[in-house]
Structure 1
Amino acid sequence: MVRLTARTRVHTFGPEGEIRARADKLAGEEPLEVQLDGEQFTVTMRTPGHDVEMVLGFLLAEGVLTSADQVREIDFSSGLDPDGRRNYNVAKVSLRPGTFDPAAYGERKVYTSSACGICGTASIEEVRKTSAFPLFAPLTGMPFVSPATVLSLPDRLRDAQSLFDSTGGSHAAGLFRVPSDAVAEPELLVVREDVGRHNAVDKVLGWALQQGLLPLSGTVIQVSGRASFELVQKAGMAGIPVLSAVSAPSSLAVELGRDTNVTVIGFNRGKTFNAYSHPERIG
């Protein structure tokens, strides 16, 4: 059982052939099976920790949940190692009646890697979800967030990445509440880390779901990697109007941002950034 981090031995090689053996620390990665009302829904790879948040956020992003009250129980007691010890790698989710219709949802294949949050979806038609918290196109001349605020987010996220500091092997997502006067410093609500960038976002969304904060219409989510389709979709499913990433967005991420009224920001590294959709929110 690995858990949050694991220690290992590594050999470091230098340019002149020198070799140094030393101890190192790795970010944990273990499978998590999610069952809905007794039926297997998916298996995803993740860094253990904040697993209830991750399950809630994942189900929100999948369009299964809109409120934490729709969940009766999440039971981790049935996950066992081959030697019989509990590993908490199976989440049995019991939903309240009427919450989820498997026939209307469609088929989902079981395995999802830590690099992809939609890899288990059975068909291309089922990839795109409809949000219960739709965003409206912003009006020109009514900016939501200042450029200076956006530029401050990557450093503030990086300062909170304790798992990355110890392993160098995790992604992060941070949720910031934007001040109404656009001058005060944004409030950092929560940061979560994981080997999978989509898992980090799911943990943030699950935290917000537990806190009863949805829709997250007054927030920006900052992520440590690139802006993929799945991350833009997750933001939209939670009603987050702005997704900011330190790296590039994909073409489909930008297209989805334009269609769902999410402002997609890329290459935000503290000095400049690019707005690929709905730049009128920034001013």
Structure 2
Amino acid sequence: MAVMTTRRAIVRRGVRGPDELAVEAPLVLGLDPSTGSGPGGEAIATLMRTPGHDLELAAGWLTVESGVQRREDIVQLRSCREDDTDRVHITLAPGVTPPRPRAFVTSAACGVCSADVLDLSPLRRAAPHGEGWRVSRAVVAGLPDTLRERQRAFAKTGGVHAAALADTRGDVRCEFEDVGRHNAVDKVIGRALLDGLLPATDHLLVVSGRVSFEIVQKAVAASVAGIVAVSAPSSLAVDLAREHGLLLAGMVRNGDLNVYAGEDLLA
């Protein structure tokens, strides 16, 4: 089992003692030769992440960075450890567009990084919600508290982000933590992909941090109906959420919330 936390000696109030920290380590994603890369496979990205659920992370990453839309688009995801580095080897189905070229190293804080295309229309593969879909304000207001109760690594370290997929009743389908907020979202989307839940129409993406362009990008790729966040969104995130018909609720704390997009989707 992957270790998500570790201990380091620190000084607190003048006293030296152990403290629990979130683990951050590289994960190399490689494209297998059958997908069209060179002999032995080709490293396509290195993600700085919290170890654990690496297959979900790879699958979620692929939904934005490649033509992967459903479980059948991935022939195999295989995790291993080579040269003291964790790796996931990816084999895509014939005809599935492989990941586009990008910066080799991706930090835990980075989503789009070297990609400079802001048009999300190619990622929109299904409607985010059905006709007449609405969610109650009370459910939205309560989702961050529900997520917080499941953040075990955060309770120990205070140093990880979390994301979850929830339905209109407020029931959480899956949740993950990671030092990178984008990684946490990718793990959620990847789990949904592997479980055959994509497109995640009529579902909500819940995040423990702020909402930037990259989070909306991933939400559009997963076809969720809206985003619920503890913190505020960026201006571009608001513009894109409105353009793609998403509910965007931010600063959701203590039963209160700001609605930045999709007010008509709240009951």
TM-score under structure 2 normalisation? Answer: 0.90
**Cα offsets for 1:222-251 (capped at 9, x unmatched):** 110001111111111011011011111001
Q: Which amino acid aligns with 1:97?
A: P
CA distance in 2, matches of 1:231, 1:262: 12
Alignment of 1:209-228 (within 5 A): 209-228=193-212
Matching of residue 191 in structure 1 with residue 168 in structure 2: no
- Please tell me whether the aligned partners of residues 27 and 88 of structure 2 are also in contact (alpha carbons under 8 angstroms): yes
Alignment of 1:147-226 (within 5 A): 147-179=137-169, 186-226=170-210
Relative to structure 1, the CA distance from residue 191 to residue 244 in structure 2 (aligned partners, 3 Å threshold; closer, same or farther) is: same
Which sits farther off after the overlay, 239-248 or 58-67?
Answer: 58-67
| 1:274 CA drift (Å) | 1.1
Q: Which amino acid aligns with 2:127?
A: L
CA distance in 2, matches of 1:222, 1:192: 11
- Please tell me whether the aligned partners of residues 128 and 224 of structure 2 are also in contact (alpha carbons under 8 angstroms): no
**In the alignment, which residue of structure 2 is the partner of 1:117?**
111
- Please tell me whether the aligned partners of residues 143 and 280 of structure 1 are also in contact (alpha carbons under 8 angstroms): no
Matching of residue 61 in structure 1 with residue 45 in structure 2: no
**In the alignment, which residue of structure 1 is the partner of 2:37?**
none
CA distance in 1, matches of 2:119, 2:58: 18
- Please tell me whether the aligned partners of residues 111 and 120 of structure 1 are also in contact (alpha carbons under 8 angstroms): no
Q: Which amino acid aligns with 1:32?
A: L
**In the alignment, which residue of structure 1 is the partner of 2:5?**
5
User: How many pairs does the alignment contain?
Assistant: 258
Matching of residue 94 in structure 1 with residue 91 in structure 2: yes
**Cα offsets for 1:99-139 (capped at 9, x unmatched):** 1256xx4x312111101111142xx2267462252336887
2:233 pairs with one of 244, 249, 256: 249
CA distance in 1, matches of 2:18, 2:46: 31
CA distance in 1, matches of 2:194, 2:129: 27
Relative to structure 1, the CA distance from residue 129 to residue 164 in structure 2 (aligned partners, 3 Å threshold; closer, same or farther) is: farther
1:131 pairs with one of 118, 123, 128: 123
| 1:261 CA drift (Å) | 1.6
**Cα offsets for 1:196-255 (capped at 9, x unmatched):** 000001000111111101111121111100011111111110110110111110011111
Q: Secondary structure of 1:97's partner?
A: coil
- Please tell me whether the aligned partners of residues 172 and 194 of structure 1 are also in contact (alpha carbons under 8 angstroms): yes
Residue identity (%):
39
CA distance in 2, matches of 1:133, 1:279: 23
1:29 pairs with one of 24, 28, 36: 24
| 1:272 CA drift (Å) | 1.5
Q: Secondary structure of 2:142's partner?
A: helix
Matching of residue 265 in structure 1 with residue 249 in structure 2: yes
**In the alignment, which residue of structure 1 is the partner of 2:82?**
79
| 1:271 CA drift (Å) | 2.2
- Please tell me whether the aligned partners of residues 77 and 90 of structure 1 are also in contact (alpha carbons under 8 angstroms): yes
- Please tell me whether the aligned partners of residues 54 and 79 of structure 2 are also in contact (alpha carbons under 8 angstroms): no
Q: Which amino acid aligns with 1:117?
A: G
- Please tell me whether the aligned partners of residues 171 and 197 of structure 1 are also in contact (alpha carbons under 8 angstroms): yes
**Which is higher, the Rg of structure 1 or of structure 2?**
1
Segments of structure 1 that go 5 or more residues without pairing to the other structure are: 14-18, 82-86, 180-185
Q: Secondary structure of 1:33's partner?
A: strand
| 1:158 CA drift (Å) | 0.3
- Please tell me whether the aligned partners of residues 71 and 93 of structure 1 are also in contact (alpha carbons under 8 angstroms): yes
